[in-house]
Structure 1
C-alpha cells in the first residue's frame, strides 16, 4: 500500500469513527477503537471538543501524586481479553529499577513502566447516560495503559468532591 493510500484509508476510518461517536456519544470507546481498527488515542482525539484534554506523559508522577488525594476511585485495565476493575485509593509511588512502583494500604499495587506514558488524557463524557470522568494514561502505541475513574456513591452519582478535584487538576495541568 502506498503512503497516499494508507493516509486515505486512515482518513476514511477517522470519518467513520466520528460518525459512530456522533451516533452513540455515550458508547464504549474501546469498542469504537476495535470497530474502526484504530488505537484508543485516535478515538480520544475524535471526541467532541472539551471531552478529552491531553497533557504530556512526562507529567506522570505529578498527575499520579495528585490522584492519590482523591480518595476511593476505580482503577481499570481494559484489554482485548477483559476489563479489570479495582476500587480503592491510589497509593503513592516512587521510581526505581525502571518502574514506577506502587505500594501501600490499598488493593491497588504494582509496577508501571511510566516512561512508556506518552500522554495523559482527562476524559469527561457521557457513558451509558451518565457523566463519567476519568484520567487515562496513553502509551506510545496509542493504547491505554490504565484508567482512573472518579468514584460514585450508592446512587451511582459521581462524588462531588472528586469531580471538583478532577476539574481543578485538569485546569492546572492545562495551564502548565
Structure 2
C-alpha cells in the first residue's frame, strides 16, 4: 500500500466537505472529521464570519472584553468542554503568564506567548447566531473562547453583541 502525500488542496477540500455537511456544527468536531485543525475550518468560513487580529492585540482585546459583563468562557479539549460564566477580570503579566484574578469564577494563568492570533467568530451554531472571540495557538487550535451570552429567551444579549461587533469591526482589514 502506498502512502499518498497530502497537499494543502487535499486538506482544504476535506475541510470544505466537512463544513458543507454540518455548516452550523461544532468547529472542533468538523475539523476532526476532516482531519484538519479548527483554524483551517475558521479560514474557510464565509466572508466576514471569521475576522482575525494579530497576537499583539491580546491585551487590548482582553481589556475591552473585561467591560462586557458576564460572558461565557469555554475551554474545549479532546477530553472536556469546560464552560464558566462570569466577568473577565483584568489581567497582568508576570512570571511568563497572563494572570487573571478577581471577583469572578473565571481566573487562572494564560500562557500568552502561545497565542498565535485572535479570531472573532460570527456564525450559526445549531440554527442560532453565535458570536465569540477565539484565542488561537500555533497548532491551529483554540486556547480558549469567549462567547457573547444569551438572555432568558436565548437571544444574544444586545449590549454584548454591540460591543463584540464594534471590537470585531475595529480589526477588519
Q: How far, CA to CA, are the matches of 1:20 and 1:35 in structure 2?
A: 7
Q: Please provide the CA RMSD for this pair.
A: 1.6
| Structure 2 unaligned blocks of 5 or more | none
Partner secondary structure for residue 52 of structure 2: strand
Q: Which runs of 5+ in 1 are unaligned?
A: none
Q: Please list every run of at least 4 consecutive aligned residues from structure 1 whose deviation after the TM superposition is greater than 3 angstroms.
A: none
Alignment of 1:1-176 (within 5 A): 5-7=5-7, 10-174=8-172
User: Does the 8 A contact of 1:93 with 1:100 survive in 2?
Assistant: yes
Q: Secondary structure at the match of 1:174?
A: coil
**85-94 or 21-30, larger mean C-alpha shift:** 21-30
**How big is the shift at 1:57?**
1.1
Cα distance in 2 for residues equivalent to 1:174 and 1:5: 35
Alpha-carbon distance in 1 for matches of 2:10, 2:6:
10
Alpha-carbon separation, structure 2, partners of 1:127 and 1:14: 21
State the TM-score, normalizing by the size of structure 1.
0.93
Q: Which has the higher helix share?
A: 1
Farther-moved stretch of structure 1 (107-116 vs 23-32): 23-32
